[in-house]
Structure 1
Amino acid sequence: MMRKHTLAILVNDQPGVLQRVCGLFGRRGFNIDSISVGGTEESGLSRMTVVTTGDDRTIEQIEKQLSKLIDVIRIQDVSSKPMVSRELALIKLEAEPSIRPEILGIVETFRASVIDVGPKHMIIQAVGDLSKLDAIIELLRPYGISELSYTGATAMTRGS
């Protein structure tokens, strides 16, 4: 059965590692729905969070292929365990002062925040899972979204 999988990949923090991981996905015909990379608690290592869609056999193939890359330390399918996953969206609206109270009502409902305000615009930051971000975007769309940017998911398993 095809479903989304979130892979946490611990890698050496070296130039070209991201390119090799993405290249592996591309060469094998696997799609990356989102990817984010950042530092870890251990110096010299980075964590890649890759969201991809596939059946269990496909994910197993991806994990086997990734484990062959020299800078890959560990791969974990965190979607198969209790996990916390978040994405960030920045949403720029063309917002005259007269409609801002309505927008603020939506922002507060989603526990988002206004991070920039100008004479005719505002930028909203929303954090959550993809369904939450999709919901706030749909409610803000009638106000005129002029720019939108998502991060990829970042995730970790719950507990120890």
Structure 2
Amino acid sequence: MNLTFKGFLRGYCRELTGQQTDNLRKLCKTVVCDQPAAAEALMIFAALQGKAEYLASFTMGTWLHPDYARVSLSLALYGNVEAWLQSDDAPERYKKVWNAYQAKKNEPARTRRINALMRDKICETMRQKGLTTYRICKDLDLNLGNVYAYLGKGDVSKVSCDTARRIMEYSASL
């Protein structure tokens, strides 16, 4: 999966605001009135499009304007949104948006590491208890090919974390 920061922000803003649009004016209205938690993500989304000042202009007379004006100026001086978010100049609440993106982007690698750790534990338990891959698949109604690739060949992408957890709990319970 090749998740871009802009693509992440598009979905994140939609999720936080409940709006299925990229229209900055509509999203801003929702943030000001109903969903203040989306304020930082929306500003960063606008900045990536080169519209930070444009978004700040919508907030004149609202609680958001001082912050958006300050961030807009800071981003204009910095020039690069991603670099600004990783710098000491960015407020912590804006850095949290970058951290959420990094967590989402790195999720597949984290899942693979977790599956590999569970695989090691499952294989050890199987050796100790004399369990076979076939028995596990039959008892848990799992696809033999995928589980064999996971347990026998070490292909951690063949099963989900939930399935690996089911196998681990089952093998430990016998």
Using the size of structure 2 for normalisation, the TM-score is: 0.27
* Greater share of residues in helix: 2
Using the size of structure 1 for normalisation, the TM-score is: 0.29
Q: State the structure with more CA Rg.
A: 2
